[in-house]
Amino acid sequence: MLAIQDLQVYYGKVHAVKGVSLTVQEGEVVSLLGSNGAGKSSILKTICGLTKAVGGSISFRGKPITNTKPYRLVKEGIGYVPEGRKIYPLLTVKENLLTGAYHRNDRAGISADLEQVYEYFPILQTKRDVLAGNLSGGQQQMLAVGRALLTRPNFLILDEPSMGLAPSVVAQIFAIIKTLRDQGMTILLVEQNAYHALTLANRAYVLETGKIALEGNAEDLKKNHQVREIYLGM
């Protein structure tokens, strides 16, 4: 579904991604691990067209999408939960959710999805008329996930979706991801909670300073002793 070839990303002089190649198959959950500053978020942003790829290519369902205008990608079916939530602080919770459905025109589908999100995160429903900026950190994170669900993507990119969430909610987020996976959605997941991520994922890549250091089956990686020591703490 997604294929990245030899991706190069720079911020000014900083070489953040140094020739990364990865693929995501239809219906698969792929997880991206790596310590801080490894370049995970940069890769995701580049897929979404928010950061420019200096070298390499990205194709989505066989179509080249390298450096496509980001606003065209939603229509291709790419949904994105960014790092740091990026909710709209001055819009109400409900308005925030509706921005996710900007490209959609099916009123019935939208309201159904809205209900679905409210069901996942009841707190969002009680707070639907509150300015999102006034939500607590974790509530904002739920909102960011909810908003991405409303884009109803067939390929979902998640950048640390569990950050700042209470353990029970983390579990819930992963349950949701699992449901989505079971419904056939393709997911690219960046997570610091490596245990959860590897449990969920089919395959995973480990990124070190802009390069892929390890890749493979999630189960295999879980057994790799370096991964265990550094990312799983065992």
Partner 1 sequence: MNPHVTILLQSLIGGIGMGSIYALVALGYSMVYRSMGLVNFAHGNIFMVGAYIGTVFYVSMHTNFVLAFALALLLTAGLGMIVQKILRPLEKMDLIYMMLGTLGIGIVLQNLSIIIWGPDGIAVPFPINNTPWMVKGISIAPYTLVIVGVAALIVIALQLFLNRTKIGLAMRASAQERDMSLALGMNVGLMNGLTLAIGSALAACAGMLVGPVFYVSPDMSTSVGINGFAAAILGGFGSMPGAIVGGLVFGILEQLVATQVSAWSEVIAFVIFVVVLIFKPSGIVGERVVDKL
Partner 2 sequence: MELLQIKQVSREFGGLKAIQDVSFPVRQGSIHGVIGPNGSGKTTLFNVISGYYKPTQGEVWFENKPIHALSPFQVNRAGLARTFQNLRLFKKMTVLENVCAVLDRESGIRIWDYVVAPKRVFRIEKETIRKAEALLEVFDLLEWRDFLAENLPYGVQKRLEIARALATHPKLLLLDEPAAGLNHTETDELARIIRYIRDERGITVLVIEHDMKLMMTICETITVMNEGMVLTEGTPNQVSKNKQVITAYLGGEW
Partner 3 sequence: MTSQDMTNRDLAGQELQPEQAPSTPLEGFAPVSEGSASRSAAKRTWRNSRWWISMAVALFLILPIALNNYQVHILDLVVLYMILAIGLDLTMGYCGQMNLAHAAFYAVGAYTSAILTTRFHFTFWEALPISIVFSTACGILIGLPSLKVRSHYLAIATLGLAIAINDMLVNLNGLTGGPTGITGIPKPHVFGVALDSEYLYYYLVLTFTVLLFLLAKIITTHSIGRSFRAVREDHIASQALGINIAKQQILAFALSGMYAGVAGVLYAHMLSYVSPDTFQMNEMFFMLTIVVIGGMGNIYGSIAGAVILIVAREWLNQFQNWQQVVYGALIVALVVFLPGGLVSIKTLFQHRKRSQLYRVK
Say which amino acid occupies 231.
Answer: Y
> Residue 152 or 222: which CB sits closer to partner 1?
152
Which of positions 131-170 make contact with partner 2 (CB under 8 A)? 134-139, 141-142, 160, 163-170
Q: Which stretch binds Mg ion (CB under 5 A): 24-32, 33-41, 106-114, 149-157?
A: 33-41
For residue 64, the cross-strand partners are: 59
- Bridge-based pairing of strands 186-190 and 29-34 is parallel
Residue 7, burial from CB neighbour count under 10 angstroms (0-12, 13-18, 19+) = buried
Beta strands in 160-201 (DSSP E): 186-190
The span from the CA of 111 to the CA of 64, in Å, is 33
Q: Which residue from 9, 29, 16 is spatially nearest to 158, judged by alpha carbons? A: 29
Q: Which stretch binds Mg ion (CB under 5 A): 76-84, 95-103, 127-135, 199-207?
A: 76-84
Q: Which stretch binds partner 3 (CB under 8 A): 50-58, 158-166, 174-182, 205-213?
A: 205-213
The span from the CA of 91 to the CA of 132, in Å, is 6
Least separation in angstroms between CB 18 and partner 3? 7
Residues at the interface with partner 2 (CB under 8 A)? 14, 33-37, 84, 123, 134-139, 141-142, 160, 163-172, 192, 194, 229-233
Residues at the interface with Mg ion (CB under 5 A)? 41, 83, 136-137
Residues at the interface with ligand ATP (CB under 6 A)? 11, 14, 16, 34, 36-42, 83, 134-139
